[in-house]
Amino acid sequence: MVDLAQYLPILIFLGVALLLSSAFVFLPMLVGRLTGAYKPNPAKLSEYECGFPAFEEPRSQFDVRFYLVAILFIIFDLEAAFLFPWSVSLDQIGWAGWATMMIFIAELVLGLVYAWKKGALDWE
């Protein structure tokens, strides 16, 4: 038979975690309502991400070029993430590490040239 008393600290921990997370979510909303910070007006409720009101149905499909630009951004963002540790450890990895990174950068440049020639970066 399993002694359930050994699970009491876990249950207390989960209860405290639930209480604290609920307090962090709901307490700022309650304080905002009580202090008068919640005063909706058309300027506060206007669009802030794209800058213009939505004119289509929300379930409409995006253009493929949007995804291509997003993927290219992720690729070159990862390149920057690889370049920093490489540059810090360049004195330890020597010429082999330098040559490997130059091959990596050449592959990325080749991909960029290909995307550029295909018109993936042209926006109409």
Q: In terms of Cα–Cα distance, which of 124, 75, 71 is closest to 104?
A: 75
What digits encode the pLDDT tens for the residues 81-115?
888 888 899 889 899 999 998 998 899 889 889 88
Half-sphere exposure of residue 68, counting CA atoms within 13 Å on the CB side? 14
What is d(CA 106, CA 114) in angstroms, rounded to the nearest whole number?
12
Q: In terms of Cα–Cα distance, which of 124, 116, 85, 114 is closest to 101?
A: 85
What is d(CA 115, CA 109) in angstroms, rounded to the nearest whole number?
10
For the domain made up of 4-118, the CATH class stated in words is mainly alpha
Token pair 């360049």: residue: 90
Please give the angle made by the CA atoms of 102, 105 and 109, to the nearest 5 degrees.
135
Helix (H) or strand (E) holding 112: helix 90-118
Output the pTM of the full model. Answer: 0.45
What digits encode the pLDDT tens for the residues 51-75?
556 666 767 676 677 777 788 888 8
